Amino acid sequence: MRQILMPYSQYKEINEPWLKSLPSHWQLFRTKAVLKERSVKGFPLEPMLAATQTKGVVRKEDYDNRTVLALKDLHLLKLVKKGDFVISLRSFQGGIEYAREQGIISPAYTILYTKDHNHHSFLSRLFKSKPYIENLTLYVTGIRQGQNIDYEKLSRSVIPLPPIEEQNAIVHFLDNTEHRIKHYIRAKQKLIKLLEEEKQVMIYKIVTKGLHSQLSKKQTGVIWIKNIPQEWNISRLKFHIVKNNSGIWGSDFSENGTFVLRSTEQNIDGSWNITLPARRNLSFLEKEQSILKKGDLLITKSSGSSSHIGKTSYVTDEIEAMECGFSNFMQRIRLRNTLYPKYIWFLFNNRVIRDQLVFYSNSTTGLGNLTGSIIGDLWIPYPDYSEQIKICNTLDEISNHYDKLIHTIKIEIQLCKEYLINMIADVVTGKLDVRAAAAKLPEELEDEEIDVEAVEPEEDDELEE
């Protein structure tokens, strides 16, 4: 689609940091000439709203309870009407948000509404475009967590507006383009989910039946793993552990302190995602108790998200070289020489252990959290040590195969997202003329079937303070 789009025939120069030129028939308006500020309070019975970077301004109750809920002084919150625009404390990072519901929101936010409702849809696209967000950074005041947009200054900045009919064509084109690209992305995300499930099925088969499925089997008497190869054993994990302890957070932050890994440094699949590990003051004894060694397994035992409880990471040579500890929301196990650590890592990141963790964490603590005792009581199927190593070598090959496929698909998804971002930026700033292309598109967006429940949801940054 983009290859057939062309620039406008005539442009005029614009002396603005984020806009160097505009189609000659487009107009520039001061923001305060297009938008008016509303600061109305005293509506405590209205539903509470949350400002999000991907869904706009929505009801808190529809946002999966991931926001901070104010329970008093609701009369002090600002009224937001459907169709308003909201400048949040993070708008300089994600743009000005469009309100899809009426309700009340933080008094720290700036509420705006259009003098002409015909501009709604175009402005909602412009305010979330990459060039406009970069423009917002020019009006930021404060530092770090105290940063905010100075609307008095922003109100004097300019907004480009094409004629109403052209605005409608732009919105229609972008709606259609975004719909098709997001449908493609959802299909790719579904494929990733299917590949991950297929990978886990293969891992489960090998860690419960071995590398040679034709081996004779025996019953275990354990509901979690009913049958294992005749030569294998099954026992509780606690009989193979030399360390099973919780981590330590330390007394305070320190630039030269000990690295302390947190559950946020773990991905759900057990891989590491270490970018800016915390440094904490640990006493000599605390450091001795929590320092990690190669082969240790770190398990998240408490988290605000149930899907993260039980995620398990393997301490590699690189992690050991960091001479780091681990936080109190994690549990470390160190194994005897009867179990190969990488083999147990595969078990923990598969339903062999995951099913047990879900059951025992809910039935024992009632909170969905884990304890050292729960982890020690897990049932572990295992062959002799040399066979565990062979199994891990095979599982590494299988995992690498699937991980490469998934990585390639994720790159495709990222390229699609970048394409859409750049497309929106070029269209709303007049670099591309989409009028003819929009005229050829159907009026209604086509409903394309896709199993949304099987699709991994997009990350969404909460903006509410």
Decide if 35 contacts 45 (C-beta within 8 A).
no
The pLDDT value given to residue 66: 53
Same domain, 378 and 420: no
Domain that holds residue 436: 2-183+412-454
Going from the C-alpha of 232 to that of each of 128, 209, 241, 383, the distances in angstroms are 58, 9, 19, 4
Asked if residue 407 belongs to a domain, the reply is no
- The residues, ordered by sequence, that sit 6+ positions from 13 with a Cβ below 8 Å of its Cβ are 20, 21
Decide if 312 contacts 299 (C-beta within 8 A).
yes
- Check which CATH number belongs to the domain holding 259 and give it: 3.90.220.20
Same domain, 246 and 355: yes
160-180 residue pLDDT tens: 999 999 999 999 999 999 999
Query: Which residues in the chain land under pLDDT 70?
Result: 1-3, 63-71, 143-146, 363-367, 446-465
- The residues, ordered by sequence, that sit 6+ positions from 90 with a Cβ below 8 Å of its Cβ are 51, 53, 461, 463
The pLDDT value given to residue 452: 37
pTM over 0.75: yes
Same domain, 375 and 271: yes
The pLDDT value given to residue 60: 86
The pLDDT value given to residue 458: 45
The pLDDT value given to residue 146: 59
Asked if residue 76 belongs to a domain, the reply is yes
The pLDDT value given to residue 451: 47
Count of the separate structural domains present in the chain: 2
The pLDDT value given to residue 443: 85
Going from the C-alpha of 72 to that of each of 39, 41, 48, 77, 465, the distances in angstroms are 19, 14, 12, 10, 15
Asked if residue 145 belongs to a domain, the reply is yes
387 φ/ψ angles, rounded to the nearest 5 degrees:
-70, -35
The pLDDT value given to residue 70: 56
The residue whose two tokens read 């026992």 is: 235
Asked if residue 283 belongs to a domain, the reply is yes
Decide if 298 contacts 330 (C-beta within 8 A).
yes
Same domain, 366 and 219: yes
Same domain, 295 and 354: yes
Question: Residue 236 has which token pair?
Answer: 């509780």
The pLDDT value given to residue 459: 45
Asked if residue 402 belongs to a domain, the reply is no
Asked if residue 461 belongs to a domain, the reply is no
DSSP character at residue 237: G
Same domain, 167 and 62: yes
- The residues, ordered by sequence, that sit 6+ positions from 64 with a Cβ below 8 Å of its Cβ are none
Same domain, 109 and 15: yes
CA neighbor of 461 nearest in space, from 76, 155, 90: 90
Q: Which of 382, 401, 425 is the last residue of a domain?
A: 382
Same domain, 317 and 249: yes
Q: Which of 333, 366, 382 is the last residue of a domain?
A: 382
Question: Residue 444 has which token pair?
Answer: 């209604």
Same domain, 48 and 112: yes
Question: Residue 59 has which token pair?
Answer: 């009801």
Asked if residue 397 belongs to a domain, the reply is no
How many Å from the N-terminal Cα to the C-terminal Cα in the chain?
40
Decide if 313 contacts 269 (C-beta within 8 A).
no
Q: Which of 382, 401, 432 is the last residue of a domain?
A: 382
Same domain, 162 and 232: no
DSSP character at residue 50: E
Same domain, 136 and 233: no
Asked if residue 375 belongs to a domain, the reply is yes
Same domain, 360 and 224: yes
Q: How far apart are CA 356 and CA 149, in angstroms?
A: 49
